[in-house]
Amino acid sequence: LHRNNLGFSRPKIQSDDAPLATRLKKALEASPPPRYHNTVHHASIDVSYVAGLARLQLSEAETATFQKQLQEILGYVDQLREVDVSSVPDHPIDPNLPTNALRLDEIRPSLPHTEALQNAPKQANQLLSVPKIVE
């Protein structure tokens, strides 16, 4: 058992888990995740489509301005294609960042209900109010 710094333990993967792990590994190898490294050249951005993904309504004038400016910025950041990154692993893990810090799942003091809701633009019955979502 590993013991973390909060004093409770988590089980190590037991040897009888191995068949599952092996099955997973095989399944992943059989269908590798899609890779896009060499599929995007001379990238172009469709600002109105991306604004939709970002839940932002843009005016026609904004769309036209951003289209031009973002195309230029993307042209600039395209220089990263020229950098040799072969010495860096595929999904680099930042060594300066902590791993998950676990704590006991205990009830602790938190923001009172009324204060948590004090900034809500619309509320009803001590709940956040939104337009009807389901018919």
Partner 1 sequence: MNPATLTISALREKYTSGELQPVQVVEALLDRIAEKDGALGGYLDIQRESALAQARQARLDLPLGGVPIAIKDNINVRGEPCTCASQILAPFVSPYDATVIRRLREAGAILLGRTNMDEFAMGSSTENSSVKPTRNPWDPSRIPGGSSGGSAAVVAADLAIAALGSDTGGSIRQPAALCSCVGLKPTYGRVSRYGLVAFASSLDQIGPLTKTVRDSALLLNAIAGHDPMENTSRPVPVEDYTAGLDRPVRGLRIGVPKEYFVGGLDPEIETSVRRALDWFKSQGAEPIEVSLPHTSSAIAVYYIIATAEASANLARFDGVRYGRRTPEPTDILDLYRRSRAEGFGPEVKRRIILGTYVLSSGYYDAYYNRAQKVRQLIRRDFLNAFQSCDLLLTPTSPTPAFRAGEKTSDPLQMYLADIFTIAVNLAEVCAISIPCGFTASKLPIGLQLIGPHFGEARLLQAAHQYEQAHTWWKERPSL
Query: Which residues make up the interface to partner 1 (CB under 8 A)?
Result: 35-37, 39-40, 43, 45, 47, 50-51, 53-58, 62, 65-66, 69-70, 72-74, 76-77, 79-81, 83, 85, 87-88, 90-92, 94, 96-98, 100-101, 111, 115-116, 118-122, 128, 130-133
Question: What are 78's two structure tokens?
Answer: 């395209």
> Closer to partner 1 at the Cβ: 15 or 86?
86
Query: Which single residue is written with the structure tokens 């289209």?
Result: 67
> Closer to partner 1 at the Cβ: 13 or 104?
104
Nearest to 99 by CA among 5, 36, 1: 5
> Closer to partner 1 at the Cβ: 4 or 65?
65
- Classify 128 as helix, strand or coil: strand
Distance CA 81, CA 41 (A): 10
